[in-house]
Structure 1
Amino acid sequence: MSRVTRGLPSWPYRNTVLALATGSFFATMVARLVLSPNVPAITADLGVSKSEVGLALTGMWALYALFQFPSGVLGERYGERRVILAALGLTGAGSALVAVAPGFGAFALFALCLGGGAGLYFSAGTALLTRQFEKTGHALGFHTAGGPLAGLLGPLAAAYVGTRYGWRAATLLGAAVAVPLFVAAVLALRETPPVRPETPVRERFDPGVVVHYLSKPRTAFTTVVAVVTVFVWQSFASFFPTFLVEYHGYATGDASAAFAAVFALSAVCLPVLGTLSDRVGRDAVLVTCLVAAGTGFAALLAGTGLPALLAGVGGLGVGLSWMGTVQSRLMDTLAVDERGTGFGLVRTVYMLVSSLGSVVTGTAAEAAGWPVAVGLLVGLVAVTAVALVGNRALGLGL
C-alpha cells in the first residue's frame, strides 16, 4: 500500500486554490445570471413593470462593479481567505433572500445585497491566485473561464427550473451553488496572512491612492485596453442574439444556440490562451484575440448563411477569450503588495466605464442600424490592436 501511495502524483495546494477560485467565480456569476431568464415571471408575480425590474438588476450589477475596489482593500488588510468566504456567504444568503422576497421593495433591496456580496469576491480571489502561481496567465485564464461557464449553464438551468417550478426556485440555484463552495472553502482554504495588516482601511480609500495607481503609464494603458475589451464583451453579451435575429433573420432558438456556442468556445479558449500568454507574451495573445474578434464581427456583417455564422462564432469564441490575459497584463504592472487594492480599483474603473457598452451599442443600432453598431465594435478592437502593436514596435514600454 505504501508503495502505491508513494507512486501517486501529489496534488499541489495551489491547484486546490485554483479549483475553488474558479468555482467561486462561477457561483457569484450564476447567482446573478439566473434572474434574467425569469424577468417576465418576476414582473407578473410582483406586479411591477420590466423597467422597474431592470432598474433593480442594474443596481445589482452596479454594486457588483463598485465592490471590486473594497474587495482588494479588505483582502490586503484582513487576508484574502476571509474576504472570499464573506463573498460566498453573502452571495448564497442574497440569492436565498431574493427568492423569498415578499414584494418588489424587498426584491430590489436583496438584489443589491446580492450584487455587493458577489462583488467582494473577484479582486480578492485574483490576488490570492497571484500569490500561488508565478505564471499568472495560466491561473487567471482558468479562473476567468468560470464566467463563460456560468453564462452558458446558468441561464439554461434557470430557464428550465423557472418553467417547471417558478422563478423563486430558479433563483435558489444561486444559493445551491454558492453554499457548497462556501463549505468547501472553509475546509480547504488555508488562512492567508494579510499584505497590509497595519494599514487602516480608511487610508486605502484616499483619493491619492486612486491617482497613484492610474498615474502609472503601464497601468493606465492596460486600463484603457481593459475598458475596450469589456465594452465590446458587454455589447456582445447584451445584443448578439438580437443582432442575429434582426440582421440575419435567424429564429430566436438558433440565435440563442449560436450565443451559447460562443460562451462554450470561450470557456475552452480562456485557459489555453492564458497559458500561451505566459510563454509568448501578453500582447501577442491580446492582438491575436482582438484580430479574431474583429474578424468574427466583420464576417457576420459582410457574409450570409452558415459559413458566415460559423466564422463569426469561431472568431468571437476565440477573440472574446481575452479577459484572463488582460488581467494578467494588469497584474504585471503592479507590485506584489499592490495587487489587491490596485487590481480592485482598476477593475472597478473599467467595469463602470465599459458598462456603457450596452447603452451605446443599443442606441447606435436603433438610430443608425446594426452595420454601424457592430462596425463601431470592429473599429474599437482594430484601434486597440494597432495601439498594442505600436507600443511594442516603438518601444514605448506601456
Structure 2
Amino acid sequence: MDVRTILRQEVQGLWGDGKGISLAAVAIAWGLLNGARMVYPVIIPYLQTNFGLSLTVAGSLVSVLWFFAAIGQLPGGVLADRYNERSLMIVSTAIVAVALGLVITSSSPIILFAATAIWGLGHSLYPIARITFLSNLYSGRLGSALGVTMATGDIGQTVLPPVATVLAAAIAWQIGLGFIVPALVLAGVAIFATSRTQRSRKRSTSAQSIRDTLDVVTELRNPTMGFMTGILFLYMFIWQSFTTFYPTYLTSIKGVSSSVAGILFGFFFAVGVVVKPVAGAAYDRIGMRQSLIGILTPAVAGFFFLPLIDNIWFLVGVTALISTMLGTGAVTQSFLADAFSDEMQGTGLGVVRTITAALAAAGPVLFGVIADSGYFNEGYVALAVIMAVVVGLTFWMPETEYV
C-alpha cells in the first residue's frame, strides 16, 4: 500500500460521516488556545521593560500559566466524564478570552500574575474535553484525529507568535496579544454551531469520580503506565523550558533580530504541523515504542548542536531537528487514552496531565535562573541530556501495550 493510498484512507476516515466539520472547529479553537500561550515568550522583553521583570521572574510568569493550566486538568477531566464536552470547550475559550483582556489591561505585576493564573485555569478545561470528545467520535482512529488537532495547535503556534511580534513592535505589546480575543470568541461560537454531544458513556457521580481518581493513581504503579507518565513529564519539562526562552535566547545570545527570532520560533511549530499527524498515524500503525524513538532521537542532536552554531541557516536546521519532539504528545496521550476505560478516560487523563504538567511547570523558572546566571548555552546542553534519558526510557519500556 503506497503513501497516497494511506493518506487518502486517513482523510476519508477523519472527514467522512459529517465528522470533519466538528473536528475542524475543535482543532481551530485548540490552535488559538495554544498559539495564545506561545505569544508570551515573544513578548517577554516587553513585559520585562513595562513591569521591570528579570528573566527569572518572567520565567515564573510563564510557569504560573503552565501550572494553573495543569492543576485544572484533573477537575477538567472529571467534568469531562460527567458533563457535555462541547460545553466545557466553549466555556474554556470564553474564560481565556476574558483572561487575555485582563492581562493586556494589567497595571501591576500582581494583576498580571493573577490574570495569567485565570488564563491557565480557563485553558485547563479544554485539553481533556477535546481528547474524550475525539475518542468517542473517532473510535479506532484516535491517534490520527488527535494528531490533526495537535498539528492545528502548531499552526496556531506557528502563525500567532510572528504576528504578535510585528504588532507589538509596530503598535504595542497589548495589541500583539489582544488580537486573539475576538478570534477565541468566534471559535467558541463555531464549536457550539458545528459540534454535538457524541457521548454514550454513563455519567459518573461525585463519589464515583473520587474512586476513579484513586484507581488512576493506583494504575500508575503499573510499570508501563508509570514509564509513560515519566516520559510525558520529562518531555513537557523540556518543551516548556525550551519554548519559554528560545526567542530571547536567539536575540540575546545568537544576535538575531526580534522579527527573525519570531519567525524561527514559528518555524519550530510549523514543522510540528507535519510531525504530529505523522506521529499519530505511526502510533496507530506501528505502536508506541518505535514511534517515540523515531520522534525523539533527532531532538537530542538538535539540543546538542544549538549552542555550537550561529549561522542563521544552521539555526533553521537545528530548530527543525528539535521540533521533531512535538510529535511526542500524539503518541503518549493516545497511548494513555487507550489505556483507560471509557468511564474513567477523562479522569485518568486529567490525573496524568495534572501530575506531569504541574511538575514540569518548574522548568521555565529553573531555566530562567540558569539564564540569569549566564549559562544559557549550558542550559540547552542539559536539555539534550534529559532528552537522551527519555529516549533511553523508551527503549526500556515494558512490552505490554494497549493498542
Aligned length: 386
Whole-angstrom distance in 2 between the partners of 1:251 and 1:116: 33
Give the 3-state SS of the residue equivalent to 2:340 in structure 1.
Answer: coil
Whole-angstrom distance in 2 between the partners of 1:33 and 1:57: 10
Whole-angstrom distance in 1 between the partners of 2:79 and 2:32: 20
Alignment-derived partner of residue 160 in structure 1? 166
Alignment-derived partner of residue 385 in structure 1? 391
Alignment-derived partner of residue 229 in structure 1? 235
Ranges in structure 1 where 5+ consecutive residues have no aligned partner: 1-8
Whole-angstrom distance in 2 between the partners of 1:261 and 1:303: 18
Alignment of 1:70 onto 2:75: yes
Alignment of 1:50 onto 2:49: no
The one-letter code matched in structure 1 to 2:129 is A
Residue number among 302, 306, 309 corresponding to 1:296 in the alignment: 302
Residue number among 1, 18, 24 corresponding to 1:19 in the alignment: 24
Alignment of 1:121 onto 2:118: no
Relative to the length of structure 1, the TM-score reads: 0.84
Alignment of 1:197 onto 2:203: yes
Q: How far apart are 1:225 and its partner, in Å?
A: 0.7
Alignment of 1:323 onto 2:329: yes
The one-letter code matched in structure 1 to 2:365 is V
Q: How far apart are 1:60 and its partner, in Å?
A: 3.4
Whole-angstrom distance in 1 between the partners of 2:219 and 2:168: 44
Alignment of 1:266 onto 2:269: no
Q: Deviations over 1:68-94 (max 9, x none)?
A: 111110011112122112112222233
Alignment-derived partner of residue 142 in structure 2? 136
Change (3 A) 1:161 1:256: closer
Q: How far apart are 1:42 and its partner, in Å?
A: 5.9
Q: How far apart are 1:226 and its partner, in Å?
A: 0.4
Q: Deviations over 1:43-65 (max 9, x none)?
A: 777xx432677755543332111
Which deviates more from structure 2 when the two are superposed, residues 297-306 or residues 235-244?
297-306
Q: How far apart are 1:254 and its partner, in Å?
A: 4.0
Whole-angstrom distance in 2 between the partners of 1:82 and 1:176: 19
Q: Is the 8 A contact 2:39 2:160 kept in 1?
A: yes
Change (3 A) 1:253 1:98: closer
Give the 3-state SS of the residue equivalent to 2:327 in structure 1.
Answer: coil
**CA RMSD for the aligned pairs?**
3.2
Whole-angstrom distance in 2 between the partners of 1:283 and 1:382: 15
> With CA pairs under 8 Å and 6+ residues apart, which has the higher RCO, 1 or 2?
2
Q: Is the 8 A contact 1:288 1:319 kept in 2?
A: no
Q: How far apart are 1:307 and its partner, in Å?
A: 6.5
Residue number among 218, 236, 258 corresponding to 1:212 in the alignment: 218
The one-letter code matched in structure 1 to 2:76 is S
Percent of matched pairs sharing the same residue: 25
Which deviates more from structure 2 when the two are superposed, residues 167-176 or residues 193-202?
193-202
Alignment-derived partner of residue 4 in structure 1? none
Q: Is the 8 A contact 1:79 1:194 kept in 2?
A: no
Whole-angstrom distance in 2 between the partners of 1:102 and 1:303: 40
Alignment-derived partner of residue 381 in structure 2? 375
What are the within-5 Å matches in structure 2 for residues 330-341 of structure 1? 330-341=336-347
Q: Is the 8 A contact 1:391 1:397 kept in 2?
A: no
Change (3 A) 1:381 1:57: closer
Ranges in structure 2 where 5+ consecutive residues have no aligned partner: 1-11
Whole-angstrom distance in 1 between the partners of 2:33 and 2:62: 15
Alignment-derived partner of residue 238 in structure 1? 244
Alignment of 1:61 onto 2:66: yes
Residue number among 89, 94, 114 corresponding to 2:99 in the alignment: 94
Give the 3-state SS of the residue equivalent to 2:197 in structure 1.
Answer: coil
What are the within-5 Å matches in structure 2 for residues 33-48 of structure 1? 33-35=38-40, 37-38=42-43, 48=51
Whole-angstrom distance in 1 between the partners of 2:357 and 2:255: 32
Q: Deviations over 1:270-316 (max 9, x none)?
A: 11221122112222111011111012222334556466434412311
Give the 3-state SS of the residue equivalent to 1:191 in structure 2.
Answer: coil
Highest Rg: 1 or 2?
A: 1
Alignment-derived partner of residue 186 in structure 1? 192
Alignment-derived partner of residue 352 in structure 2? 346
Alignment-derived partner of residue 9 in structure 2? none
Whole-angstrom distance in 1 between the partners of 2:88 and 2:181: 18
The one-letter code matched in structure 2 to 1:129 is L
The one-letter code matched in structure 2 to 1:295 is A
Whole-angstrom distance in 1 between the partners of 2:109 and 2:377: 38
